[in-house]
Structure 1
Amino acid sequence: MRRLNHTRLLASALLLCAAPLTLAADAPARWDRVGAGNPLLPGYFADPSIVHDKGRWYIFATIDPWGDDRLGLWTSENGRDWRFSMPEWPTKQAATSPTSGDAKVWAPSVVRAPNGRWYMYVSVGSEVWVGTAPSPAGPWRDAHGGTPLIARDFAPKYHMIDAEAFVDDDGQAYLYWGSGLNWTNGHCFVVKLKPDMVSFDGPPRDVTPANYFEGPFMVKSKGRYLLTYSDGNTTKDTYKVRYAIGDTPFGPFREAPTSPILQTDVARDIISPGHHAIFRSGRQSYILYHRQALPWPQTGDAVLRQVAVDRLGIAPDGSLARVRATHGDAVAGFVTKRDSGLRWRPVTDVANARHAADDNYATLWRAPDADGGTIIADLGRVRPVTGSRLRPEFPTHRYRYAIEASRDGRNWTSVASMAEHSGSPITLRHTVVARYLRLRVATPRAGLWEWSID
């Protein structure tokens, strides 16, 4: 079968025509171990869409808690070291209509069309909007005349969200979407798209399979169409990934014997995995998805999810194997080892300062009081240091940081003055020869996933 060179790595027939995979043994139940590969991203994000273009990975995602006025975009050349930004489109202000409602920006799907351009289908205010760009990096612009592609009142009994584009191996594009209201009665719709990617080629059809709620994602394997989707409630511990098989992109779809393929495993701290994308790196297929942040259950009312990646096994008949969700070893083979900088240890483990040095995005250090907090890092010996990379709990928030250096732990020199920053990673340049660095955080209760020292 020929390689499909114009569509994203998520939705082509070729992704799932890999050789059968022998999965490694289950990872240990511990999620707070040093050097964990999952979560993949430092922060709270959901509904990920992943593409690869010109040597770079792009992950578009919903910003938690529960959406934002803009989308999150993470980019990486190696799949482990990610940089955060926010595309200029869509925004809640720009993508809105009289029927859109007050819901935020959710659930992007990014695809390269046969015409060579990139298209994004995204939920804004309970409607589906579409934008286009010459590359995943942008610039993104509205592609439908400032109006939703699928309005909220298309089917008022259901939720018009979670649109996902699929380009078949003959170049024909389809769009799948739909959810339910109040966590019940999800429905899935599909329509054939015209070559312009923003016009319907025929009427939409209801193709809802058994146990469907939301998050459809179509793949093709051994000539059959596998409609994968989420079931359950993402705010609880019932979310999961199922799939159904059809002979055409319109079905009819019958749930597969191995469904669900990914679900809660309380004993191993995997809680409510779902709303996924399927992609390939090299000869291996993977599933990218969100799951509940740890520790679980969370305190407060905020919905906080994190993005993870795991290997996806394919049987000789093209069916999907059940996924063994992991905390640490899943990304072996997908990407290189993450660059965690120079090794260091905290002089005192105040408020779990060691979590800022454990190369694990499931654990963080939190400033212990209303004025902020301090971490003193011991590099083990006097050595040259060129800078710091800070990965804060929320890349969209603003934090105040300063850094001081010392050779002996007693006499300190300022190397980065107190200033406000946002993003991830936040890069602070400070060329100095020192054994100790002192990070001062002047933001109340600020969280920090990692402090990488270069």
Structure 2
Amino acid sequence: MRLAFLLAAPLLAGCAAQTPPPPAASTFTYDGNPIVRDRYTADPAPLVVGDRLYLYVGHDEARGDQMFNITEWLAYSTTDMREWTAHGPVMQPTDFSWVSRDAWASQVHEKNGRYWFYTAVEHDEEQGSHGKAIGVAVADNPLGPFRDALGKPLVRNEDTDGPHHWDDIDPTVWTEEDGQSWLIWGNANCYIAPLADDMVSFSGPIRQIDLPDFEEGPWIFKRGDLYYLAYASMDKAISEDERISYATAPSIEGPWTWRGEITGTAANSFTIHPGIAEFKGEWYLFYHVGTLSVGDQQGAIGRRAVAVERMRFDEKGLILPVEQAARGLLDEG
């Protein structure tokens, strides 16, 4: 997510040594968008494992005029996109010993039977770095328990030459058929680097991908022989809010060709964050909006809610425009 007002983000109170076990799972039925109605969720990251889709989100807990207060990562899952299970929290920022706060955007990636949790957090200034960093946690199943896999950040703010101290956020991961994994991330600049076999270090240099109007939130996936890189974009001549654009390439190393917009701005939120997955033969675009009210709090930039739409392609493999709708998947039978 973009942080134009970082100083407004509140500090987390206290410090947890270990994420408590999740509460007993509860179930609910999808009733249109947003998917989850009892709390605020942001930055959706889907993962398909067998016949189940897992959805990881940040828990937005800002109140009043607070900007961001994202305190933990939650997990949900479904086998049919209608009946969902809420699994509760899978990790908190302070489960990383070097982190002070902020459960920002993440992606869980399966490789060789393990689940690698790449995420953006705020580095504890007393431990030698300032600003956002990329951490890595690992677990033996999709619901954890996740533990810090490295004991330090994979990427610090000082490791890249970005325009501000939150340019190292929003990681997305891809593994090639030959086993080579790649990490892509960034705000203002889009970075890419090859991961080593250990998944917690790089085997090559950090480079930049040049994408028109790139703002943040990259999401990498492949369909057939074509690679797709979706991302939150901003053209201020059109809107002060983010949209979702994308590019394609014949290789993960490019060259990338800009293909246009997937969907427009999110209702009542200047940020939008794509999460894309193929599940049981259909493609889905997850994103967040600011339309949900919970209790005495109305939706806002710090109180977003995850939504989903079907995503389709034309005969050339280009993504057809996606219309955001309150009924979402309900209109499709």
Equivalence map 1:187-266=2 (5 Å): 187-232=189-234, 238-256=241-259, 259-264=260-265
2:134 is aligned to: 128
Choose which of 155, 171, 180 in structure 2 pairs with 1:172.
180
Contact map agreement 1:263 1:273 (CA 8 A) in 2: no
Choose which of 116, 134, 144 in structure 2 pairs with 1:138.
144
2:291 is aligned to: 293
Q: CA deviation at 1:237?
A: 6.5
Distance change (3 Å), C-alpha of 1:327 and 1:120: same
TM-score (norm 1): 0.56
Tell me how far apart the structure 1 counterparts of residues 312 and 299 of structure 2 sit (CA, whole Å): 37
Tell me how far apart the structure 1 counterparts of residues 227 and 81 of structure 2 sit (CA, whole Å): 28
Distance change (3 Å), C-alpha of 1:289 and 1:229: same
Distance change (3 Å), C-alpha of 1:330 and 1:300: closer
Contact map agreement 1:221 1:319 (CA 8 A) in 2: no
Contact map agreement 1:263 1:271 (CA 8 A) in 2: no
Q: Are 2:138 and 1:162 aligned?
A: no
Q: Are 2:33 and 1:38 aligned?
A: yes
Contact map agreement 1:241 1:273 (CA 8 A) in 2: no
Q: Are 2:153 and 1:148 aligned?
A: yes
Equivalence map 1:35-184=2 (5 Å): 36-42=31-37, 43-64=39-60, 65=62, 66-80=68-82, 81-87=84-90, 89=91, 91-97=92-98, 103-113=101-111, 115-125=112-122, 126-144=132-150, 146-155=151-160, 156-158=162-164, 159-179=167-187
Tell me how far apart the structure 2 counterparts of residues 213 and 255 of structure 1 sit (CA, whole Å): 14
Contact map agreement 1:76 1:83 (CA 8 A) in 2: no
The sequence identity of aligned pairs, in percent, is 27
Tell me how far apart the structure 2 counterparts of residues 69 and 92 of structure 1 sit (CA, whole Å): 7
Distance change (3 Å), C-alpha of 1:96 and 1:264: same
1:325 aligned partner, one-letter code = Q
Tell me how far apart the structure 2 counterparts of residues 308 and 218 of structure 1 sit (CA, whole Å): 19
Distance change (3 Å), C-alpha of 1:52 and 1:154: same
Equivalence map 1:443-454=2 (5 Å): none
Q: CA deviation at 1:187?
A: 0.5
Distance change (3 Å), C-alpha of 1:208 and 1:239: same
SS, match of residue 283 in structure 2? strand
Which consecutive unaligned segments of at least 5 residues does structure 2 have?
1-29, 63-67, 123-131
2:71 aligned partner, one-letter code = D
Distance change (3 Å), C-alpha of 1:160 and 1:103: farther
Q: CA deviation at 1:264?
A: 2.8
Tell me how far apart the structure 1 counterparts of residues 93 and 269 of structure 2 sit (CA, whole Å): 29
SS, match of residue 193 in structure 2? strand
Q: CA deviation at 1:124?
A: 1.1
Q: CA deviation at 1:79?
A: 3.1
TM-score (norm 2): 0.75
Distance change (3 Å), C-alpha of 1:300 and 1:168: closer
Tell me how far apart the structure 2 counterparts of residues 327 and 138 of structure 1 sit (CA, whole Å): 32
Structure 1 runs (4+) deviating above 4 angstroms are 269-273, 298-302
Q: CA deviation at 1:321?
A: 1.0
- For the aligned residue pairs, the C-alpha RMSD in angstroms reads 2.7
2:321 is aligned to: 322
SS, match of residue 293 in structure 1? coil
Equivalence map 1:17-36=2 (5 Å): 36=31
Distance change (3 Å), C-alpha of 1:77 and 1:254: closer
1:306 is aligned to: 305
Larger Rg: 1
Which consecutive unaligned segments of at least 5 residues does structure 1 have?
1-34, 180-185, 337-454
Tell me how far apart the structure 2 counterparts of residues 311 and 170 of structure 1 sit (CA, whole Å): 30
Deviations 1:39-77 (A, max 9, x none): 111221111111233543321111113243321222344
Deviations 1:402-449 (A, max 9, x none): xxxxxxxxxxxxxxxxxxxxxxxxxxxxxxxxxxxxxxxxxxxxxxxx
SS, match of residue 153 in structure 1? helix
1:136 aligned partner, one-letter code = P
Q: CA deviation at 1:172?
A: 2.2
1:83 aligned partner, one-letter code = A
Tell me how far apart the structure 1 counterparts of residues 142 and 171 of structure 2 sit (CA, whole Å): 18
Contact map agreement 2:109 2:173 (CA 8 A) in 1: yes
SS, match of residue 213 in structure 1? strand
Contact map agreement 1:45 1:307 (CA 8 A) in 2: yes
Contact map agreement 1:216 1:227 (CA 8 A) in 2: yes
Tell me how far apart the structure 2 counterparts of residues 241 and 175 of structure 1 sit (CA, whole Å): 20
Contact map agreement 1:69 1:93 (CA 8 A) in 2: no
Equivalence map 1:300-449=2 (5 Å): 303-330=302-329
